A = this chain, B = another copy of it.
Amino acid sequence: MRITKTFFETRLVATGEVGFVPTMGFLHEGHLALIEAARAANETVIMSLFVNPLQFDRDGDLARYPRDLERDVELAAAAGADVVFAPELEEMYPGEQFTRVNVNRLSDEMEGPNRPGHFEGVATVVAKLLAGVQPDRSYFGRKDAQQLAIVKRMAADLSFPGSIIGVPIVRESDGLALSSRNVFLSSQEREEALALNRGLMAAADAAEQGVRRTSELVGAVHGEIGTESNLSVEYVTLASQDLVEPLDELDRPAFLALAAWSGKTRLIDNVHLDEANGGFVADRGGRLETTSVLYGPGGPGGGRG
């Protein structure tokens, strides 16, 4: 496996069709699933590791963001990456970044209002990566449903030749969607947080059984979270997959997404509802059979039982 530091070098070492997995590092099985998807369909698999200052909207978050290049390189290689592109800040932003990419309307709802400037930062850095790496296929997790929609639209609107592929969520063995933030949850918070997944699964069942009213699907989620819970729900929204448009009814490919605070930890999760055979089929994601690398040696939750 090669480690590259510049776009030029990265294009140079790539041969044949290129699958690309952009990440901010500190990998877990969610990222590794993206590498595996890329591995199955491309000659060269490139993973980028870059903590993008442009997309951080909360003071201090950028400085606190965990970095461990050695650990990431090892995990990426084991999962099948050919190249790890790990640019320094100077390669990505050699001067002041005057150019900004915005995907209007798709950024307006859900995560958008909560995170001013975040999606502008994401769209800008992903445009840079697509322009500089020139991949045939790029892989993003369905966990960040709105981000996936925005990146898809940006790539199409800007006529980038490669395709953008969404990959199912990877969940811990108890159903909690993988996130490096999970390690901040206390045992009690974690127990309560499982209600988010249970709620989405109940809604997924309902959608597959023919329920179409958003109010019913959202109700199914709240039914599992309950009123006694310490979870503080920010939103539960059914939105279209293409335009992130809130829907009154499940009448096109959509995702049912939520954000909630468990103590001081903000969690997001969703279930994508894809059209199939005249109805809808829910993408519930996959579950790990073992403990996540998040809790292994070198992981942020390495101290956790």
- Shortest distance in angstroms between A127's beta carbon and chain B's nearest beta carbon? 5
**Is A157 in contact with B104, judged by CB distance below 8 angstroms?**
no
- Shortest distance in angstroms between A282's beta carbon and chain B's nearest beta carbon? 27
**Is B99 in contact with A102, judged by CB distance below 8 angstroms?**
yes
Q: Which one of B8, B103, B123, B160 lies within 8 Å of A132 (CB-CB)?
A: B160
Size bracket, chain A contacts: 20 to 34
Question: Cβ of A105 < 8 Å from any Cβ of B?
Answer: yes
**Is A97 in contact with B132, judged by CB distance below 8 angstroms?**
no
Chain B residues with CB below 8 A from A134, complex form: 134, 161
Chain B residues with CB below 8 A from A157, complex form: 97-99, 128
Question: Cβ of A154 < 8 Å from any Cβ of B?
Answer: yes
**Is B104 in contact with A132, judged by CB distance below 8 angstroms?**
no
Question: Cβ of A5 < 8 Å from any Cβ of B?
Answer: no
Q: How far is the CA of A106 from the CA of B100 in the complex (A)?
A: 12
**Is A131 in contact with B102, judged by CB distance below 8 angstroms?**
no
Q: How far is the CA of A7 from the CA of B157 in the complex (A)?
A: 13
**Is B128 in contact with A158, judged by CB distance below 8 angstroms?**
yes
**Is B101 in contact with A106, judged by CB distance below 8 angstroms?**
no
Chain B residues with CB below 8 A from A95, complex form: 156
Chain B residues with CB below 8 A from A158, complex form: 99, 101, 124, 127-128, 131
Question: Cβ of A153 < 8 Å from any Cβ of B?
Answer: yes
Contact string, A173-185, partner B, CB cutoff 8 A, digits 1/0? 0000000000000
Q: How far is the CA of A152 from the CA of B7 in the complex (A)?
A: 18
Question: Cβ of A227 < 8 Å from any Cβ of B?
Answer: no
Q: Which one of B98, B103, B131 lies within 8 Å of A131 (CB-CB)?
A: B131
**Is B159 in contact with A131, judged by CB distance below 8 angstroms?**
yes
Chain B residues with CB below 8 A from A11, complex form: 161
Question: Cβ of A130 < 8 Å from any Cβ of B?
Answer: yes
- Shortest distance in angstroms between A22's beta carbon and chain B's nearest beta carbon? 13
Contact string, A117-159, partner B, CB cutoff 8 A, digits 1/0? 0000001100111111010000000000000000001101111
Q: How far is the CA of A11 from the CA of B134 in the complex (A)?
A: 13
Q: How far is the CA of A105 from the CA of B11 in the complex (A)?
A: 31
Q: How far is the CA of A158 from the CA of B154 in the complex (A)?
A: 13
Chain B residues with CB below 8 A from A102, complex form: 99-100, 102
Residue of B with least CB distance to A157: B99
**Is A99 in contact with B128, judged by CB distance below 8 angstroms?**
no
Q: Which one of B103, B105, B106, B131 lies within 8 Å of A160 (CB-CB)?
A: B131
- Shortest distance in angstroms between A108's beta carbon and chain B's nearest beta carbon? 10
Q: Counting chain B CB atoms within 10 Å of each CB, which of A8, A128, A154, A161 scores highest?
A: A161
Q: Enumerate chain A interface residues (CB-CB to B < 8 A).
A: 7-8, 11, 92, 94-95, 97-106, 123-124, 127-132, 134, 153-154, 156-161
Q: List the 6 shortest-distance A-B pairs measured between CB atoms, nearest first.
A: A99-B157, A132-B159, A128-B159, A131-B160, A98-B104, A131-B158
